[in-house]
Structure 1
Amino acid sequence: LVERGQGEVWVLLASPCGVAAEGLYDAGATALAALAAVQTRRRELDVTIEPWVTADAVGVIAHAPFRDDRETPAELGRRVASAAARTIAATTFGPDALTQARAAALQHLERLSGGRAAALEAFASAIAPDHPSWIEPFGVWDRVASGALETVQLRWQALATGPLRLAVLANADAAQAAAAAEAAERWLSPRLAPRTCGSPDGAVVPRPGHHDARLPAGTALSQAVVGARLPAAREATARELAELTVAALNGADGLLAAALAAPATAPAPPATSPASPAAPATAANPAPADAATSRRQLAARASAGLLGGTRAAALAVEIRAPSAELGEASTRVKELLAGLAQRVTDADLGRAEALVARRERDALAEPRRRLINLFSGRASRTPPAKATLAAWRAFLAGALGADAIVTVEARPD
Structure 2
Amino acid sequence: MDSSIVPIWFNTDYIQDALRSYLRDGAIKVVSYKASPASARGDNYVCILSRISVEYKSNSSKDIQSGSYILKATLNSESSCKVKAAFDSYGTYDHEIEMYHTQFPKIRDVLNKIGYCKDLVPKTVKIDHEHQSIFLEDLSAMGYKMANVRAGLDEIHAKVILKKLAEWHAASAVANAGRPGTFRNCDRGIFNKHSKAFDSYFNLNFEACARVVSSWEGYEAYGGKMIKLLPHFTEYGVRVMEPKDHHFNVLTHGDFWCNNAMFKYNESNQPVDVILFDLQFSIWASPTIDLHYFFHTSLMDDLRFNNTEEFVYYYYQNLRETLQVLKFSGKIPTLHQIWVQYVETAFYCIYSAVIAQPSMINEETEDASLNCLMKNDERSRRLRNAMFNNARIRRNLQRWLPVFDRRGLLDLQA
TM-score (norm: length of structure 1): 0.27
Which structure's CA Rg is the greater one?
Answer: 1
Say which structure, 1 or 2, has more relative contact order (CA 8 Å, 6+ apart). Answer: 1
